[in-house]
């Protein structure tokens, strides 16, 4: 699960607004006994213990994109796929990694202990200080040219404030907080070549007063900060269809293997990876008329970078042939007790509309355990697939177990039954379209088994 940060959105140019119109869908359920027999070929082989062991292994260390920990995870996943007999590819891609450096600040001979903006440009500058208020759009005075801008936090994003004073020729930024006692705030975008530090609210207000009485000259010295190119990987294992039965259709089953920095990411998203691997293991020797791609994505937590990269490498014809993308993210949420309860499984689409994936999932759920509702949410790797027109959905529990994105996202937060239920439903769904006796979907616009299920918009926390 990716928590949107404004800086990332701005730098990636991704500000999306999606307004769904929710149709009421009341198709009738038609249980076909032979479907259940086919389901059993999958779900009787899916072992919760295997999945749990994979989550335990992957969560031995954090797997932040571009780190040694991610690479250990990537190689583990590749080895597993190869052990099951798959042709497996590591797909590298580069991204800009933010560096948090150190810095000093001195004003009229007095030393401060500033926080350096994440990704701030590294440089040493000395100049006169000018207070520019909140540096709102269109309100930064021309006199800031050649000076260090003293800025109050608030109302608009950090990166806008930086840009507003940069555009007027400022040479440095001192931002003061607008509340609390902390100075640990602020993110700069790549290309904003100005050293930027933050101080506390009290320090800032004192400087504003001081400026009334006398001119101030500041020296900002920022080191080891900025952006560097780093490399992450997607892992792709491909199951080819039977030569004589190939329908040309492709199904993608995905999860993300990276974690946030410092978090072991057991639920987010070693759990999803364990489901991808277990479904791959079970299907390794099954005959299909459909190509199945098992993909684990890197750098999801930095803004879905791995899945965007993967989709960008697809040929038009491949995009046409991919009839469904199943994304599993945080599919082991255990109830943590107390006043927080992890919720049930739900399928989320980007537009909130049902599609081939949710229809397959709802039908498989009805046959194997329970009908799974659907709702509207992005924030995982189904998003880039949706954007090129591929039916895609995220399988997740809502509300999620609440220690995700923290060092406490450990194996003890994983519920084996939830892992198993998710893998059963996604595995049975995939097998329903991939096996010989169901016809290929015409660009996935036709759902196989109608089933009665409902919209659900419960919050993901
Ligand atoms: Zn996440």
Q: How many A from CA of 66 to the centre of ligand 1?
A: 16
**DSSP-derived secondary structure letter, 444:** T
Rounded to whole angstroms, the Cα distance separating 258 from 68 reads 11
Q: Using a pLDDT cut of 90, give the percent of the chain over it.
A: 79
Q: Which helix (H) or strand (E) holds 38?
A: helix 33-43
Average pLDDT across the chain, whole number: 89
Among 103-107, 115-119, 427-431, 441-445, the least confident range: 441-445
pLDDT beyond 90 at 334: no
The dihedrals phi and psi of 402, each to the nearest 5 degrees, come to: -90, 5
Query: With 50 as the cut, is the pLDDT of residue 457 above it?
Result: yes
- Give residue 457 CA to ligand 1 midpoint distance, Å: 19
pLDDT band of 377, cuts 50, 70, 90 = very high
Q: Which residue has the tokens 């509340």?
A: 179
Interatomic CA distance for residues 281 and 300, integer angstroms: 24
Average pLDDT of the residues in 229-236: 97
CA 321 – ligand 1 centroid, Å:
29
Task: Copy the structure tokens of residue 214.
Answer: 């006398």
- The per-residue pLDDT for 339 is 64
Q: State how far the alpha carbon of 380 is from the alpha carbons of 71, 205, 269, 355, in Å.
A: 21, 41, 10, 17
pLDDT band at 173 (very low <50, low <70, confident <90, very high): very high
Residue 402 pLDDT: 81
Given this model, what pLDDT does residue 2 score?
A: 78
Q: Is the pLDDT of residue 155 over 90?
A: yes
42 by DSSP, 3-state: which? helix
Report how far ligand 1's centroid is from the alpha carbon of 303 (Å).
10
Q: Is the model's pLDDT at 362 over the cut of 70? A: yes
Mean pLDDT of 36-65: 96
395: pLDDT strictly greater than 80: yes
User: Residue 343 has what pLDDT?
Assistant: 86
Mean pLDDT of all residues in 294-315: 97
* pLDDT for position 127: 98
CA gap 148, 38 in Å, rounded: 69
Residue 296 alpha carbon to ligand 1 centre in Å: 14
Which segment of 276-285, 288-297, 365-374 scores lowest on mean pLDDT? 365-374
24 pLDDT above the threshold of 70: no
Q: Sketch out the chain's domains with CATH numbers.
A: 6-98+229-434 (3.40.630.10), 101-224 (3.50.30.30)
pLDDT of residue 13 exceeding 50: no
| Ligand 1 centroid from CA 347, angstroms | 17
Q: Given this model, what pLDDT does residue 439 score?
A: 72
Is 160 in a helix, a strand, or coil? helix
Q: Is the pLDDT of residue 336 over 80?
A: no
Cα of 240 from ligand 1 centre, angstroms: 31
404 Cα–ligand 1 center, Å: 7
Ligand 1: distance of its center to the CA of 300 in Å? 7
Give the mean pLDDT of 368-372. Answer: 90
Q: What is the whole-number distance in angstroms between the Cα of residue 327 and the centre of ligand 1?
A: 13
């Amino acid at each position: 699960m990716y928590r949107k940060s404004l800086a990332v959105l701005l730098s990636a140019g991704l500000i999306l607004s999606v307004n769904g119109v929710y149709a009421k869908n009341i198709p009738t359920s038609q249980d076909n006994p032979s479907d259940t027999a086919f389901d059993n070929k999958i779900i009787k082989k899916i072992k919760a213990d295997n999945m749990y062991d994979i989550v335990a292994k992957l969560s031995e260390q954090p797997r932040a994109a571009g780190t040694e920990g991610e690479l250990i995870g990537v190689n583990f996943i590749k080895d597993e796929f190869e052990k099951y007999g798959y042709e497996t590819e590591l797909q590298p891609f580069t991204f800009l990694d933010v560096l948090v450096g150190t810095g000093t600040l001195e004003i009229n001979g007095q030393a401060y202990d500033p926080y350096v903006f994440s990704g701030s440009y590294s440089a040493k500058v000395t100049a006169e200080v000018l207070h520019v208020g909140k540096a709102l759009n269109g309100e930064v005075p021309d006199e800031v040219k050649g000076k260090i801008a003293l800025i109050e936090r608030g109302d608009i994003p950090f990166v806008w404030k930086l840009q507003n004073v940069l555009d007027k020729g400022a040479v440095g930024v001192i931002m003061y907080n607008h509340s609390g006692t902390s100075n640990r705030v602020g993110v700069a975008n790549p290309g904003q070549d100005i050293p930027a530090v933050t101080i506390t609210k009290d320090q800032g207000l004192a400087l504003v007063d001081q400026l009334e009485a006398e001119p101030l000259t500041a020296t900002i010295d920022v080191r080891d900060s900025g952006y560097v190119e780093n490399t992450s990987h997607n892992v792709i294992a491909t199951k080819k269809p039977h030569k004589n039965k190939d329908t040309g259709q492709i199904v993608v089953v995905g999860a993300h293997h990276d974690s946030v920095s410092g978090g072991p990411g057991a639920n987010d998203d070693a759990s999803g990876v364990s489901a991808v691997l277990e479904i791959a293991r079970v299907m390794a020797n099954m005959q299909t008329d459909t190509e199945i791609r098992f993909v684990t994505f890197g750098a999801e937590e930095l803004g879905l970078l791995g899945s965007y990269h993967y989709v960008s490498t697809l040929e038009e014809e491949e995009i046409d042939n991919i009839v469904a993308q199943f994304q599993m993210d945080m599919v082991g949420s255990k109830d943590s007790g107390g006043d927080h309860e992890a919720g049930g499984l739900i399928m989320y689409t980007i537009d909130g509309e049902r599609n081939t994936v949710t229809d397959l999932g709802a039908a498989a759920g009805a046959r194997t355990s329970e009908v799974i509702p659907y709702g509207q949410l992005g924030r995982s790797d189904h998003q880039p697939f949706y954007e090129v027109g591929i039916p895609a959905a995220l399988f997740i529990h809502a509300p999620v177990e609440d220690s995700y994105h923290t060092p406490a996202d450990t194996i003890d937060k994983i519920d084996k039954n939830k892992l198993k239920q998710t893998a059963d439903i996604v595995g049975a769904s995939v097998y329903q379209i991939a096996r010989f006796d169901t016809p290929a979907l015409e660009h996935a616009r036709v759902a196989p088994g109608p089933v009665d299920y409902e919209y659900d918009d419960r919050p993901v926390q």
